[in-house]
Amino acid sequence: MTTENIFIHCAYDELVDITILVPNPRNPNQHPQKQIELLAKMIKNQGWRAPITVSNRSGFVVRGHGRLLAAQLLGVGRVPVDRQDYATEAEEWADLIADNRIAELSAIDPTMLTELLEELNVGAIDMDLTGFDESELDKLMTRFSIPDKEFPEYDESVEKSVKKVVCPHCGEEFPV
How far is residue 81's CA from residue 8's CA, in Å, rounded to a whole number?
11
So what's the pLDDT on residue 138?
83
pTM: 0.75
How far is residue 144's CA from residue 146's CA, in Å, rounded to a whole number?
7
Per-residue pLDDT of 57-95, as tens digits, reads: 999 999 999 999 999 999 999 999 999 999 999 999 999
Assess contact for 40 and 73: CB atoms under 8 A.
yes
At 98 the three-state DSSP class reads helix
So what's the pLDDT on residue 162?
59
pLDDT surpassing 60 at residue 160: no
Mean pLDDT of 142-160: 57
Share of the chain above pLDDT 70, in %: 87
Residue 79 burial by CB count (10 A; 0-12/13-18/19+): exposed, middle or buried? buried
pLDDT surpassing 70 at residue 144: no
Task: Report the range of poorest mean pLDDT among 17-21, 102-106, 160-164.
Answer: 160-164
Which domains occur in the chain, in start order? 2-104 (3.90.1530.10), 108-147 (no CATH)
Confidence of residue 161 (pLDDT cuts 50, 70, 90): low
